[in-house]
Structure 1
Amino acid sequence: SRRHAKADERCVRLRALIGIGPLTADAMVASVGSAKEFKNGRQLAAWLGLVPTQHSSGGHTRLGTISCRGDAYLRMLLIQGARSSLQRAKTVSAEKSTPEQIWIRQLACRMPFGKVLVAIANKHARQLWAMLAREETYDAEAWLKHPMVQRPAGQHALRIAGMA
């Protein structure tokens, strides 16, 4: 598995994402392939069971626990990778943090531990879908290039955008 993860260029691309190791990358490629079966990353996350169940009635939306559908082994690997990402985000200094690590720290301040792990795993599943379906490499600052995203203020944001 590790040998395959080093040889397959898709696995090498996936491993650029923090929290995704050789086992997760190999399992993702084995389970999902090119990810073209899914219309978007949200569908992949739902297929993996990384979205909440809905119990809605009478105009009230009630979200429950994760749906636990799909590949349980791959879901477990993504949750463990999310745990690694959370630990790294907590230990890295604010000046050296990536935008994703800043987002993870903010999430950890306002949500319970388990929900944070599922949110990170969901985001990783969506990012992995984009990397596989579009055959792209990981770009930590891709969100800065989107025209609808407001640019955050401060020195760190300017440094990320290449203006400082």
Structure 2
Amino acid sequence: FSAWCGLVPKQHSSGGKSCLKGITKNGNKQLRTLILHGARAVVRYADKRQDKMGMWLRELIARRGKVKAVVALANKLCRIGWHLLSSGEQFNVNKAFA
């Protein structure tokens, strides 16, 4: 689902060497935009969250910066959403960001 939304890196590989670039921009542009806006809203208040998602986001922002953290969170939220829809499980933030 993340790949269909265009939230995975472009891959330029040749000769066994893998080179990953920015997001692919494939798929539905409007859906990708909405998911990124939602991720931006969550990252904005990451410092106030005291759960596993907040800790994960703060560590990611410190390592990679806010822009990459927004795209990484959007990708992760897409994958979580797809898993919840396909399996019928209930969302558990501690399991999702373990």
Secondary structure of 1:105 counterpart:
helix
Give the TM-score taking structure 2 as reference length.
Answer: 0.90
Secondary structure of 1:141 counterpart:
helix
AA matched with 2:91: Y
Q: Which has the higher helix share?
A: 2
Q: Percent of counterpart pairs with the same letter?
A: 37
Structure 1 runs of 4+ with >2 Å offset = none
In the other structure, the counterpart of 2:53 is 100
Give the TM-score taking structure 1 as reference length.
Answer: 0.56
Structure 1 gap segments, 5+ residues each: 1-43, 150-164
Secondary structure of 1:70 counterpart:
coil
Is 1:79 the counterpart of 2:32 in the alignment? no
The number of equivalent residue pairs is: 98
In the other structure, the counterpart of 1:133 is 86
Of 116, 119, 124, which residue of structure 1 is paired with 2:72? 119
Distance 2:13 2:68 in 1: 20
* Cα RMSD for the two superposed structures: 1.7
In the other structure, the counterpart of 2:95 is 142
The Cα shift of 1:143 comes to: 4.9
The C-alpha deviation readout for 1:80-121, integer Å capped at 9, x for no partner, is: 11111111112x1xxx61101110110000113221111000
